[in-house]
Amino acid sequence: MRITLPDLCYEEVLDLQKVIDSGWLTKGPYVEEFERMVKDYMGVKYAIAVSSGTAALHLALISLNISSGDEVIVPDFTFVATANAVEYTGAKPVFADIDLKTFNIDPEDIRRKITSKTKAIMPVHGFGQSADMDEIRKIAHEHNLFIIEDAACAMGAEYKGEFCGVMGDLGCFSLHPRKILTTAEGGIVVTNNDEHAKLIERLRDHGSIKKDGRVYFNHCGYNYRLSELHAVLGIAQMKKLNDIIKKRQKAAKELSALLSGIASLRLPEISENCQHIFQAYVVLLNQEVDRSKFMSYLKSKDIETVVGNYALHSQPFYKNKYKYTPGDVSNSFIAGEKSVVLPLYPQMTEEEINLLAKTVKSAL
């Protein structure tokens, strides 16, 4: 039995050939319908579909006029796209440490990293669980900072009854195949701000504006549109999003019960007042466990794993550009060296969950 990570769920996908035959490959009713479904689900004024989660972050930053000379505080333990999007604007990503219990950004370290150049905070809702948004919003209010939520992994996750992505100025989601909601590739920006939304809508399509039956290019925009084909997949996924979340939560609960009590393994923790949707089931190995050997053992048993995420300050580009030494952001460095993503997906059977738990115990 092979247990793998991907969980593409396209059983109810509409007939893609109809979309191709319609001629609506870049602009048409399916993108608009997908945006409407996301907007209604989240109770937000605007949902703007784009070509990737990275594009969503980039456009959100531009809409806030973040540019060279500015600083944006991001968690150090995240996928590189979070920081790269800041780099695209010419601004500087400033790395804050995380809480090892949740893998989310530490509000106290945010406070320590604020300077006169800080313009925004970009919290990441790691692996499907919200960051501490009460504290983050308090800090942003005190220092007059924008909040861009990197909710790439958190479609449907909640914090005190609010959806991740709608608690800041803008929220950005990824629709990559490993995300809760996938369009094979894509992203989406949500906001309640008219000005930001209109600018992002223009910038995703080369900066174009339609007026009097003609197209004008008032901005130097980007080719960041989501295609109709991808939107069709998103529509099918939105119809079963809540069911996908419930199945992932059930599988995570069962797996945690089977793995509890292992001294060398820290299991995912669910913060109070949070709905964790488990886009990924991430464990933290103790220092004495060799992660490479652990992962290799599982691979030898046909169980696929990947590293949890990356300590960005220790990655060559950021280490060299900003003169970091690996370990400077201490909790993030530990997570970057010792975290592992175990397989978890909606179609996972009890037999697969039991086998996974048994193999992990055997490996340790």
C-alpha closest to that of 100 among 363, 338, 341, 293 = 338
Q: What stretch of H or E contains 119?
A: strand 118-121
From 136, 102, 108, 142, select the one nearest 122 (Cα to Cα). 136
CA distance 2 to 30: 36
Q: Is 209 helix (H, G, I), strand (E, B) or coil?
A: strand
Record the tokens describing residue 76, joined without a space: 């150090």
The residues, any chain, with a CB within 8 Å of residue 106's CB and separated by 6 or more, are: 96, 97, 98, 99, 331
Measured between alpha carbons, how far is residue 343 from residues 51, 80, 263, 293 in Å?
A: 26, 22, 21, 17
Q: Which amino acid is at 175?
A: L
The active-site residue, picked from 92, 119, 179, 338, is 179
Does the active-site annotation cover 179?
yes
> Residue 143 is which amino acid?
H
**CB–CB of 114/143 below 8 Å?**
yes
Catalytic residues: 179
